[in-house]
Amino acid sequence: MRIATWNVNSVGARLPKLLDWLGKAEPDVLCVQELKCAADAFPLDEVGELGYEVAAHGTGRWNGVAVLSRVGIDEVRRGLLDEPGFQADGAMFETQEPRAIGATCGGVRVWSVYVPNGREVGHPHYAYKLRWLDALRTTAIEELAADRPFAVLGDFNIAPTDADVWDIAAFEGSTHVTEDERKALAAIAETGLAEVYPRALKYDVPFTYWDYRQLRFPNNQGMRIDLVYGNERFTGAVGDSYVDREARKGKGTSDHTPVVVDLDL
């Protein structure tokens, strides 16, 4: 079974790229992040022609996650256990953002997650990010009670180590690399999950994200923030994992690229 994750940075803008990649890579399951569309606006017919069912969780212009599967979709769950909300500027109340969806596909339980960015250290969105990660940890504990392959895949907006960014000095005082974020990520792993570290096809570090600005991609000035964490039944079945850097090339691409995991179940 081939399972992948990809922050497409707008499924509407990236639909031709998405369809092309699905046709070439042929994943059995794809976890998608940053849909930037409502769930009922997801292009079901287009991906359906390639044999995929879809479970989507989105509300409009921002955020949004989905699971695409050609091996069935069952037990769909939208939102984390005790998931916190965020009160945007000018809003009267906190609202839950569509950032997590779980589904069982071909006997494998997956969660597609789009962790909050955090914006700036000290910003309310940063505190929200840490609360959200704690809710992901709680959800992982609940999921681990079941005896089946299980993985959390997606855009974590955290570089696990200093080596996972092109120049740690360039990130001094910024989100994505802070001690508190990394502690929250480690706490999720400590529930009984281990990271599936992908091999790099060209460079030493398998970066998954490159900013559109300042020629970051041609200069390979990236970050490794799209991650896969699985339980023992999942990681023990991994035959290969890699970052598909080719999907980031050309015009009209996402600023992220897919991470692919091949399982021998």
Strands 65-69, 29-33: pairing kind: antiparallel
What pLDDT score was predicted for residue 177? 98
Residue in 52, 57, 114, 164 annotated catalytic = 114
Identity of the residue numbered 64 = G
Q: What is the DSSP letter of 106?
A: T
Instruction: Confirm whether residue 155 is marked as ligand binding.
Output: yes
pLDDT category at 202 given cuts 50, 70, 90 is confident
> Domain ranges in the chain?
2-263
CATH: 3.10.180.10, 1.20.1250.20, 3.60.10.10, 3.40.50.1220. Which one for 2-263?
3.60.10.10
Instruction: Identify whether the C-beta of residue 34 lies closer than 8 Å to the C-beta of residue 9.
Output: yes
Instruction: Confirm whether residue 9 is marked as ligand binding.
Output: no
| Chain segment 13-61, per-residue pLDDT in tens | 999 999 999 999 999 999 999 999 999 999 999 999 999 999 999 998 8
Instruction: Confirm whether residue 162 is marked as ligand binding.
Output: no
What pLDDT score was predicted for residue 60? 87
What pLDDT score was predicted for residue 126? 97
Q: Return the minimum-mean-pLDDT range out of 82-86, 92-96, 124-128, 224-228.
A: 92-96
What pLDDT score was predicted for residue 204? 86
Residue in 52, 128, 155, 176 annotated catalytic = 155
Secondary structure (DSSP) of 160-208: SSGGGBS-GGGGTT-TTS-HHHHHHHHHHHTTT-EE-PPBPSSSSS---
Q: Judge if pTM exceeds 0.95.
A: yes
| Chain segment 206-254, per-residue pLDDT in tens | 999 999 999 999 999 999 999 999 999 999 999 999 999 999 999 999 9
Q: What is the DSSP letter of 223?
A: B
> CA 148 to CA 257: how far, in whole Å?
28
Span 91-111, average pLDDT = 94
Terminal-residue alpha carbon distance, the chain: 7
Instruction: Confirm whether residue 157 is marked as ligand binding.
Output: yes
Assess whether 114 carries a catalytic annotation. Answer: yes
Instruction: Identify whether the C-beta of residue 187 lies closer than 8 Å to the C-beta of residue 257.
Output: no
Q: Which two tokens stand for residue 102?
A: 């779980």
> CA 36 to CA 65: how far, in whole Å?
9
